[in-house]
A and B are shown apart, each in its own frame.
Chain A
Amino acid sequence: MSDRRVIKPFVGERSALRKTLVAAALPVALFAAVIVQLTVVNRLPLPGGDAPDLVLLLVTAVAVCSNAMTGALTGFAGGLAIDIAPPVTHYAGEYALVYCLAGYLAASAVAAISAASGGAERDPWVSVAVMAAATAAGEAGKAALGLLLSAPDVTDAAIKHVLPGAILYDLLLTPVVYWLVARVARLAQPASERAPAPVFIDARRLASVFRSASAGAAPNLRLAGTGAKFSDDRPPRREPNLRLAGKKSNSFARTVPGTTNSAHLPLAGGRATKLNFAHSGPSVRPGYRTGGSALGAGPLPAGIARPGRTPKLNFAADKSAIAPRRVKSPGKGWLRAAGARSGASIRAGTETGIKTGRGKAAASGRSPSAGWLRTDQHRPVAPARRAAPGKGWLRPARPPRANWYSNGPSSSWIRRSRSQARWRTRRRSLSGSLLSTVRDLLPTGDRR
C-alpha cells in the first residue's frame, strides 16, 4: 500500500484485468473459506475445543481493505454460506446478519479513521486493529444472536467457555489473514494508482463544464465563454462596460467627473478616460475622451494599478455584473501599457490616436484606445473578434483561435470565482471531475 500514489498512466488495461480477477477471486475465496472452515478447521482438535472463524476473518479483512459496500456484501454472502452449508447448527440468516454488520462497520471505521488522520493512505496497523476489533465483535454478535434466538446450544456457560477462546484464535490469525488479503487486494490497486491520469482528462473536461456552467449560471460569463452569445460585435461588447460604470460605487464617482471635463484628481481622471472610452462608445464624442485623458495628465502606474484591478474584484463580488474576462483584459492591458511608458507618453499616444483617427492608430499602437481601434480595422469579421475579444487590445500576437479556456482555468481564476458554494455544487454534480476523482482515491466512508 505504500506505493499507492505512484503514477502509472499506461497500465490501464492490465490493471483493469487484475481488478476483475481480484473481484472474481473474492467469491472463490469465500467459498473456499467456508469449505475449509467446515471440513478442516472445525474438526481440528485444537486446545480448548475452540476454533477460529476463517470466514469472519476473511470478511473483516476484505472489509478493511476495500469499502463499506464490499464489506457488507462480502459479510452477507459469507455468513449466508456458513448458515446454509450442511452441518445445520443454527438458523439460516444468523451469521449473514452478524457478518454483514461486521464487514460494514469495519470498512466504515477504517475509512473514518483514515479520513480523520487526513491521508489517503491506510495505515496497516490501523486496519489490523480495526479488523481485530470487528472480528471480536462478530464473535460476540454470533453469541448474542444465539442467545436472542434462544438456541439450545448457546447457553451462558457455553458462551463463557467458547467466546474467549474463539476470539483468541481469531486474534492470532488476524495479521496473517490481513496480510494475505492485503496482498491480493494490492494486485487490484494499479487501477487506483492510475487515477492521476484521469486528472488531466478531467481538467479539460472541467474547463468545458465550467464553460457551460458559466453560460447557464452567470450571464456575465456568457460573453466571454461562448462565442454564440458574443456574436453581436460592438454594442454588446461595450454595454458591459457601461453597466460596470453604472454599478461602480467608489471608483465611478471619480470616473464620471472625469468624463464631464471637470477638474479632478489626476489619478481618477486617468482611469476615467479609459473607462469612459469603453463604455460610451459611439455616443460619446472623441473630444470628451481626449479631454478626460488630458485631465488625467499624469496617471501614475502605481496609482492606476489599484483602480485597474477594481473591476475584477467587483465582478467577483457582484453576481449580475459583467463578464470577468472582458473587464479583466482591458484593465490589465491598459495597466501594462501604462506601466511600460511614462505618463507623458501615454498622454501623447492618446492624443495622437484621437487626432489621427482610426487610420493612423498604428502610430500609437500601444495605446489602449488605438489598439482597440486597430483591432476593429484589421479584423472586421465578428468571429475574429470573438476569438480574442479582450486580449486583442494589447496582445494581438496571441493565437487568434486560442480560446481562453484551452489551457483550462487557472487556479487563481477558480479562486476568484464568485462563490465557493456554487463551485462546490458544480463540482459535486460531476462524477468524473477532477475533485471527485481525487476524492475517489480516498477511502470511501461517511465523510460527507
Chain B
Amino acid sequence: MLGARRTRSVLITLLIVAIALITIDFRDGGTSGAHSIGGRIFGPVERLTGDVTGWFRGGGGNAEISALQKQNDQLRAELAQAQVSSQDAAQLGGLLHLTGQDGYKVVTASVIAAGGAYSDTVTISAGSSDGIAANETVLNGDGLVGTVIATTLSTATVQLATDAGATVGIRMARSGQIGALTGTADSFSGGAPLRLTLFSASASLKPGDELVTFGSVGGRPYVPGIPIGKVTKVTTEPGSLTPTALVMPFADFTGLGVLGVVVSK
C-alpha cells in the first residue's frame, strides 16, 4: 500500500534524525543546542506551572516564607564559611587557596520540574539571566542538595547529590577524614540514598557521624563546609581496603521546594 510505504519512509527519517541528535548530544556531553532550545520553549511554561503547583503545595507561593527561606540559605552558607574559617582556616586555606574569600552570594529559586525515573535532577526557576552558571553548589536550609549541571536563560538543571552520576568530595566533621560520596540506585526506596567511601583505610566510621562538603577549587562544583548528612550504617566489608558506609542526607530530596544556588562572588 502506498500509505504504508510512505509511513515507513517517514519512520526511517525520524529514526535517523533521532540517532543524529543522540550522537551530537553524546559528543557534546549532554550540552548540545537542543537542550537550550528546549529550555527556551519549555522553560517559561515550566516556571509558570511550577509557580502554580508551588502555590498549591503551600510553600513557595508565600512571599514571606520564601524571603525567610532565602535568608536561611544565606545564613547557612555563611555559617559553613564561618565554621570552615574558624576551625581550620589555615589548613584549608593552604590547601584550597580559599583564604581570600569573603563569603558567598546565594541566589534562591524554586523547584519547578523534575527529571524522569532514572535520574535525580530537578529544574529550578532561575537561569543564566540570574547569574547562575554550571557547576555551582545548590543547597537548601537543611544541607547540600546538589550542583548545577546545565543552565538555560530562565531555568537551570540541578543534579541532586543522590543521582547515580553525582560524586561529592566530603570531609568527616569529627575526624576530618576525607572521602567521596556517590548517589545510589537505592535512593528510590527511601532508604539511605548515599554511599560513602573514605580514602583512608585506617579511618574509623560509626553511625551518627556527620559529614560536610570538602570543597573544590574555586568552590566549583561544591563549596566547602556545607553539611550533607550523617552515617546510618557502616558497610565496610571484611578485607576491603577502604571503609564504606551509607549516609542519610539532611535535605529531604523528595520534597524539595526552595533552593539556594551559591553564586561565586
Which A positions have Cβ atoms within 8 angstroms of B? 31, 34-36, 38-40, 42-43, 45, 48-51, 53, 67-69, 72-73, 76, 79-94, 96-97, 100-101, 104, 142-143, 146, 149, 151-155, 157-158, 161-162, 165-166, 444-448
Find out whether the CB atom of B123 lies under 8 angstroms from the CB atom of A104.
no
Of B13-21, B69-77, B227-235, the segment with at least 4 beta carbons within 8 Å of chain A is B13-21
- Inter-chain contacts of B113 with A (CB < 8 A): 38-39, 42-43, 85-87
Find out whether the CB atom of A72 lies under 8 angstroms from the CB atom of B117.
no
Find out whether the CB atom of A93 lies under 8 angstroms from the CB atom of B18.
yes
- Inter-chain contacts of A81 with B (CB < 8 A): 38, 42
Find out whether the CB atom of B255 lies under 8 angstroms from the CB atom of A89.
no
Find out whether the CB atom of B49 lies under 8 angstroms from the CB atom of A86.
no
CB-CB nearest in chain B for A41: B114
Which among A39, A45, A153, A447 is the interface contact of B1 at CB below 8 angstroms?
A447
Given A49-B189, A162-B118, A162-B188: A35 and B45 interface contact (C-beta under 8 Å): yes
How far in angstroms is the closest Cβ of chain A from B48? Answer: 9
How far in angstroms is the closest Cβ of chain B from A146? Answer: 6
Of B98-106, B157-165, B207-215, the segment with at least 4 beta carbons within 8 Å of chain A is B157-165
Find out whether the CB atom of B185 lies under 8 angstroms from the CB atom of A43.
no
11 residue pairs bridging A and B, Cβ less than 8 Å apart: A45-B254, A68-B7, A79-B18, A86-B42, A90-B30, A92-B32, A93-B18, A93-B21, A101-B15, A161-B186, A161-B189
Which among A83, A89, A149 is the interface contact of B26 at CB below 8 angstroms?
A149
Find out whether the CB atom of A38 lies under 8 angstroms from the CB atom of B114.
yes
**Separation of A448 and B4 alpha carbons in the complex (Å):** 8
- Supplied contacts A80-B18, A86-B155, A101-B11, 6 more A-B pairs, CB within 8 Å: A42-B115, A43-B111, A43-B113, A91-B25, A161-B188, A444-B3
Q: Does B221 contact A (CB under 8 A)?
A: no
How far in angstroms is the closest Cβ of chain B from A53? Answer: 8
**Separation of A439 and B39 alpha carbons in the complex (Å):** 44
- Inter-chain contacts of A146 with B (CB < 8 A): 118
Find out whether the CB atom of A97 lies under 8 angstroms from the CB atom of B22.
yes
3 closest A-B pairs by CB: A84-B38, A93-B21, A49-B188
CB-CB nearest in chain A for B117: A162
Find out whether the CB atom of A84 lies under 8 angstroms from the CB atom of B163.
no
- Inter-chain contacts of B31 with A (CB < 8 A): 88
**Separation of A438 and B20 alpha carbons in the complex (Å):** 39
- Inter-chain contacts of B184 with A (CB < 8 A): 157
CB-CB nearest in chain B for A94: B22
- Inter-chain contacts of B245 with A (CB < 8 A): none
**Separation of A36 and B50 alpha carbons in the complex (Å):** 10
CB-CB nearest in chain B for A111: B4
Question: Which residues of B156-201 have CB atoms within 8 Å of chain A's CB atoms?
Answer: 157, 163-165, 184-190
CB-CB nearest in chain B for A92: B34
- Inter-chain contacts of B118 with A (CB < 8 A): 89-90, 142-143, 146, 151, 153-154, 158, 162
CB-CB nearest in chain B for A84: B38
B43-86 near A? 1/0 per residue, CB < 8 Å: 10110011001000000000000000000000000000000000
- Inter-chain contacts of B217 with A (CB < 8 A): none
**Separation of A97 and B32 alpha carbons in the complex (Å):** 17
Find out whether the CB atom of A72 lies under 8 angstroms from the CB atom of B189.
no
B117-158 near A? 1/0 per residue, CB < 8 Å: 111111100000000000000000000000001101001010
Find out whether the CB atom of B14 lies under 8 angstroms from the CB atom of A76.
yes
Find out whether the CB atom of A35 lies under 8 angstroms from the CB atom of B188.
no
Find out whether the CB atom of B15 lies under 8 angstroms from the CB atom of A88.
no
Which among B11, B38, B117 is the interface contact of A51 at CB below 8 angstroms?
B117
- Inter-chain contacts of B35 with A (CB < 8 A): 84, 86, 88, 92
How far in angstroms is the closest Cβ of chain B from A330? Answer: 43
How far in angstroms is the closest Cβ of chain B from A326? Answer: 37
Q: Does B258 contact A (CB under 8 A)?
A: no
**Separation of A162 and B188 alpha carbons in the complex (Å):** 8
**Separation of A154 and B34 alpha carbons in the complex (Å):** 22
Q: Does B112 contact A (CB under 8 A)?
A: yes
- Inter-chain contacts of A165 with B (CB < 8 A): 117, 188
- Inter-chain contacts of A154 with B (CB < 8 A): 118
- Inter-chain contacts of B116 with A (CB < 8 A): 42, 51, 53, 82, 89-90, 142
**Separation of A155 and B120 alpha carbons in the complex (Å):** 13
How far in angstroms is the closest Cβ of chain B from A142? Answer: 8
Find out whether the CB atom of B112 lies under 8 angstroms from the CB atom of A166.
no
- Inter-chain contacts of B112 with A (CB < 8 A): 39
**Separation of A418 and B98 alpha carbons in the complex (Å):** 95
- Inter-chain contacts of A38 with B (CB < 8 A): 42, 46, 113-115, 123
- Inter-chain contacts of A88 with B (CB < 8 A): 30-31, 35, 115, 121, 149-150, 157
**Separation of A40 and B7 alpha carbons in the complex (Å):** 34
Find out whether the CB atom of B165 lies under 8 angstroms from the CB atom of A49.
no
- Inter-chain contacts of B165 with A (CB < 8 A): 151-153
Q: Does B265 contact A (CB under 8 A)?
A: no
Find out whether the CB atom of B22 lies under 8 angstroms from the CB atom of A93.
yes
Which among B19, B23, B42, B117 is the interface contact of A34 at CB below 8 angstroms?
B42
- Inter-chain contacts of B111 with A (CB < 8 A): 43
- Inter-chain contacts of A90 with B (CB < 8 A): 30, 116, 118-119
- Inter-chain contacts of B119 with A (CB < 8 A): 87, 89-90, 151, 153
Which among B14, B30, B114 is the interface contact of A91 at CB below 8 angstroms?
B30
